[in-house]
Amino acid sequence: MYNGGKIILGLIIFLALAAFPFYSNLGGSAKKAMPSLDTPVIQQLAVKECVKSGEYMKREHMKVLDQWRDEVVREGKREKIQVGGREFEKSLQNGCMACHSNKEQFCTECHSYAGVKPYCWDCHLSREGGQI
């Protein structure tokens, strides 16, 4: 085989460059501290309650928000949700942000940790009044 050494060297360099994204971030998420979300207490009822369990909302909140968006905006279904004797609006701003009012501590901290950029704030305004 002619130039076998050069071919093998080229393959080694190629594999090293192709694998770079994997080994350069090895343990990257372990370096960040897991955010501790301050679950708000609903002042009027003094209970910690959401439309679903906390574990479910951590895992599936985007699916819930997408479902609400489709029902309210696209299908016109604006009925409120009853949980524990309290009504919740199907709304990011009037439902979720009524309790989880500190966007920086609740939303941004967790999304930064997970490395995701939600598109919610492309249209919605935060409670502080400015568009994000």
DSSP characters over the chain = -TTHHHHHHHHHHHHHHHHHHHHHTTTHHHHSPPP------BTTTTB---SS-HHHHHHHHHHHHHHHHIIIIIT---PPEEETTEEE-S-IIIIIHHHS--HIIIIIHHHHHHT---SGGGTPBPTTSSB-
Q: Is 0.85 surpassed by the pTM of this model?
A: no
Domain-wise residue ranges, the chain? 39-132
Q: Give 70-81 pLDDT, tens digit per residue.
A: 999 899 998 888
Q: Give 49-72 pLDDT, tens digit per residue.
A: 788 888 888 889 889 989 998 999
Q: Give 13-59 pLDDT, tens digit per residue.
A: 999 999 988 887 776 655 667 777 766 655 544 556 788 888 888 88
Q: Which of 59, 57, 69, 114 is nearest to 93 (CA)?
A: 69
